[in-house]
């Protein structure tokens, strides 16, 4: 082979090609191609967890970034038949009788305004609830209902030390709910802004207090941080108070509001007894208690409400506008002091727009949500433009824009809503995926896109499909989460746990039968069971394994019973012996070379035959 002749190559490469090549080198910072930036070699772990809400699937998706690999779906508001979520007695109780929820906003717990990796919360817009997932085992531990809140959308956004989770009404209802003519909406309906307290040690949630609000549609929220600590900001639309054709009637006014709530002042009011109890919750009426809530006029049917990392500014995404509105916290304080008001609604002063607004940033069409990086830039999703705009805090100029495919809703940057954003990536969560993936029929997947934000220009790195339907997501440094990989058997405090095969037994009490069973490679003890027609059988199964990833399943043929039991865990599931006959049961989760042999039989005798 001849040596390559440089002169010949130069002659072969035309000038435009060379320029293009150099440009490409420059664009791929550090010489890394997009593929290299997202490549996680086999056996290596991702650097970030991304928690994406599962929308009306009621679940949460856990993805690894930068690879975009789906690692786990956490069942929250909806059953999961593999794990047995909604099937075993413990999870049925947590789900509280509902089998669906509409999960929009994952919220990681915070300490000093930054994610601490302890808990993950998520709202249910449909049935007015908030769930808590423990990040020690990625399991939903608790679901709380927020009474008086019709459609809990602006939720659960945590305060900087997870003192509170917030919630608010999207669909105003009578408070307390009662039968009144819908036509009396303006007189009889109300919104509610809710604060749910979180126990510092256990994470346990309680309804702390609520604030009665005019019947607007409260949309999103963010807690104040640093200088604005002690406040929370809720966007709202439909200040027209329409209840029928909102599409037209709720878009009449040029400005709706961001409601600024002084939750420290609300705490004081509660201490002083200035509330009435409605459905067991302490509710403050702003007509009677002043200084708790103020309205910041914000164009135009604002959606996102995002506080900058320094806490100085509140960014409102006016979804029907071409700008985001930036309010100044300091300006707001001054305006309140001076009484710079423009009327009031339901006892809540409306601050003068000019007195609180710092900037209108011309980001583009349909601005929704804003996230932040570590260099003083903000990133706003543009639904109508199908793009992300990057703009500078302080100078308020738009410095870059990148198209996304298509119609982005939320976006998430690494620690992008904390006091300490980490930069690096922003994840676009797009509503429409048409043509981005192999077609699978009329129901298309959602589409997430990972974008490098470390350089001057944003760079598109990766597409990956996501299950229904990420509204919001949060991205946390993976080193902050350290889950347990097995449940230590010696710490298993379940009242139905047994710790060895010789404790396995069947106890009968009338027609209630309790089966204390163990699962260990590759058998159940006991594995031959005899019941009578009509027996209510409670299987209490302990997985005695302490090896990582040795999960057993327990499924009964001809029934709706199936669940997984993790190493060291005890779970209880109820099964009714409805019809005489033989019922095989088996391990449904592949566990060993003799997994196929891990089975047993139930014999159900007809009533009175024994």
How far is C-alpha 322 from the geometric centre of its chain's CA atoms?
27
Closest-CA residue to 53 (of 338, 554, 427): 427
Tokens 């060291």 map to which residue? 568
Q: How many residues lie near ligand CUA (CB under 6 A)?
A: 8
Task: State the residue for tokens 């009011």.
Answer: 269
| Whether the Cβ atoms of residue 283 and residue 330 lie closer than 8 Å to each other | no
CB of 88 to ligand CUA, least distance (A): 17
- Judged by CB under 6 A, does residue 129 bind ligand K7E? no
Choosing from 101, 316, 364, 409, the residue that interacts with ligand K7E (CB under 6 A) is: 409
Residue 228 — φ and ψ, nearest 5°? Answer: -100, 15
Q: Map the footprint of ligand CUA across residues 465-524, applying CB under 6 A.
A: 522
- Compute the distance between CA of residue 150 and CA of residue 219 in angstroms, rounded to an integer: 12
Residue 103 beta carbon to ligand K7E: minimum distance, rounded to whole angstroms: 9
- The binding track of 348-387 with respect to ligand K7E, each residue x by CB under 6 A or -, is --------------------x-------------------
**DSSP code for 153:** -
Q: Does 589 bind ligand CUA (CB under 6 A)?
A: yes
User: Does 595 contact ligand CUA by CB under 6 A?
Assistant: yes
Please give the residues from 134 up to 173 whose contact with ligand K7E meets the rule CB under 6 A. Answer: 153
540 near ligand K7E, rule: CB under 6 A: no
Q: How far is the CB of 303 from ligand K7E (least distance, A)?
A: 6
Q: Which stretch binds ligand CUA (CB under 6 A): 281-289, 319-327, 442-450, 583-591?
A: 583-591
Q: What is the rounded distance in angstroms from the CA atom of residue 372 to the CA atom of residue 379?
A: 6
**CB closer to ligand CUA out of 15 and 593:** 593
Nearer to ligand CUA, 425 or 539 (CB): 539
Answer for the pair 68, 464: CB distance below 8 angstroms, yes or no: yes
Torsion sign (Cα): 213, 215, 216, 218: positive
Query: What's the min distance (Å) between Cβ of 595 and ligand CUA?
Result: 4
Among 122, 232, 591, 602, binds ligand CUA (CB under 6 A): 591
Residue 262, token pair as written in the block: 């002084």
Residue 319 binding target from ligand K7E, ligand CUA, none, CB below 5 to 8 Å by type: none
Give 190's DSSP letter.
B
- 589's contact among ligand CUA, ligand K7E, none, with CB below 5 to 8 A by partner kind, is ligand CUA
First to last CA, the chain: 91
C-alpha span between 307 and 417 (Å, rounded): 8
Beta strand pairing call for 48-53 and 59-65 = antiparallel
571 binds, among ligand K7E, ligand CUA, none (CB under 5 to 8 A by kind): none
Return the SS3 of 127.
Answer: coil
Contacts with ligand K7E: how many residues (CB under 6 A)?
Answer: 10
Residue 471 touches ligand K7E, criterion: CB under 6 A: yes
Counting contacts by CB under 6 A, is residue 529 touching ligand CUA? Answer: no
**Does 60 engage in binding with ligand K7E (CB under 6 A)?**
no
Query: What CA–CA distance (Å, rounded) separates 292 from 336?
Result: 11
Pick from 92, 105, 282, 312 the residue near ligand K7E by CB under 6 A: 105
Which positions from 540 to 559 touch ligand CUA by CB under 6 A, shown as an x/- string?
A: ------------x-------
Share of the chain residues as helix, strand and coil, in percent rounded to the nearest 5:
15, 45, 40
Instruction: Give the strand pairing for 473-477 and 459-466.
Output: unpaired
Angle at 47 between CA 46 and CA 48, to 5 degrees: 95
Work out which of 205, 213, 220, 529 binds ligand K7E, going by CB under 6 A. Answer: 220
In the chain, the largest separation of any two C-alpha atoms, in whole Å, equals: 100
Query: By C-beta, is 382 or 598 nearer to ligand CUA?
Result: 598
Contact set with ligand CUA (CB under 6 A) = 522, 552, 587, 589-591, 595, 598
- Give residues in contact with ligand K7E (CB under 6 A): 104-105, 153, 220, 303, 368, 409-410, 471-472
């Amino acid at each position: 082979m001849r040596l390559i002749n440089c002169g010949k190559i130069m002659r072969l490469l035309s000038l435009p090609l060379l320029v293009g090549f150099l440009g490409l080198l420059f664009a791929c910072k550090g010489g890394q191609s997009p593929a290299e930036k997202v490549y996680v070699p086999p056996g290596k772990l991702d650097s970030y967890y991304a928690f994406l809400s599962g929308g009306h699937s009621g679940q949460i998706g856990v993805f690894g970034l930068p690879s975009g690999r789906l690692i786990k779906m956490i069942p929250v508001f909806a059953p999961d038949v593999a794990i047995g979520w909604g099937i075993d007695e413990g999870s049925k109780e947590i789900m509280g009788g509902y089998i669906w929820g509409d999960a929009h906003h994952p919220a990681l717990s915070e300490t000093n305004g930054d994610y601490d990796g302890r808990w993950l919360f998520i709202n249910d817009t449909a049935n007015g609830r908030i769930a808590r997932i423990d990040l020690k085992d990625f399991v939903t531990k608790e679901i709380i209902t927020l009474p008086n809140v019709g459609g809990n959308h602006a939720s659960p956004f945590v305060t900087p030390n997870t003192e509170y989770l917030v919630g608010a009404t999207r669909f105003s209802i009578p408070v307390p709910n009662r039968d009144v003519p819908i036509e009396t909406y303006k007189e009889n309906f109300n919104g509610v802004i809710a604060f749910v307290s979180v126990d510092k040690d256990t994470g346990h949630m309680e309804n702390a207090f609520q604030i009665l609000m005019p019947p607007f549609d409260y949309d999103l929220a963010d807690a104040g941080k640093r200088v604005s600590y002690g406040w929370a900001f809720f966007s709202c639309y439909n200040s027209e108070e329409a209840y029928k054709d909102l599409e037209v009637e709720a878009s009449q006014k040029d400005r709706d509001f961001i409601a600024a709530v002084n939750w420290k002042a609300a705490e004081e009011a509660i201490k002083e007894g200035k509330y009435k109890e409605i459905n067991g919750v302490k509710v403050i009426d702003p007509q009677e208690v002043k200084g708790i809530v103020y309205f910041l006029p914000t164009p135009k049917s604002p959606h996102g409400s995002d506080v900058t990392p320094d806490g100085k500014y509140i960014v409102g995404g006016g979804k029907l506008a071409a700008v985001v509105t930036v309010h100044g916290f300091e300006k707001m304080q001054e305006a309140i002091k001076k009484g710079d008001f423009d009327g009031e609604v339901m006892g809540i002063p409306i601050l003068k727009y000019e007195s609180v607004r710092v900037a209108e940033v011309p980001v583009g069409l349909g601005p929704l949500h804003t996230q932040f990086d570590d260099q003083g830039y903000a990133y706003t999703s543009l639904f109508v433009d199908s793009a992300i705009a990057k703009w500078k805090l302080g100078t308020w100029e738009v410095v870059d824009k990148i198209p996304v495919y298509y119609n982005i809703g939320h976006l998430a940057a690494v620690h992008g809503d904390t006091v300490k954003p980490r930069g690096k990536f922003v994840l676009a969560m797009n509503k429409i995926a048409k043509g981005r993936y192999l077609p699978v029929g009329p129901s298309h997947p959602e589409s997430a896109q990972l974008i490098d934000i470390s350089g001057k220009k944003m760079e598109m790195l990766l597409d990956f499909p996501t299950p229904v339907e990420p509204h919001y997501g949060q991205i946390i440094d993976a080193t902050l989460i350290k889950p347990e990989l097995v449940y230590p058997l010696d710490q298993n405090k379940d009242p139905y746990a047994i710790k060895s095969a010789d404790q396995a037994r069947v106890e009968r009490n009338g027609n209630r039968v309790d089966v204390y069973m163990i699962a260990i490679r590759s058998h159940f003890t006991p594995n031959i069971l005899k019941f009578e027609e009509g027996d209510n059988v409670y299987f209490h199964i302990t997985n005695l394994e302490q090896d990582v990833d040795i999960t057993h399943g327990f499924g009964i043929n001809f029934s709706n019973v199936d669940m997984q039991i993790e190493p060291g865990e005890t779970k209880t599931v109820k099964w009714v012996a409805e019809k005489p006959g033989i019922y095989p049961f088996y391990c449904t989760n592949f566990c060993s070379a003799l997994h196929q042999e891990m089975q047993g039989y139930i014999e159900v005798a007809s009533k009175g035959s024994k």
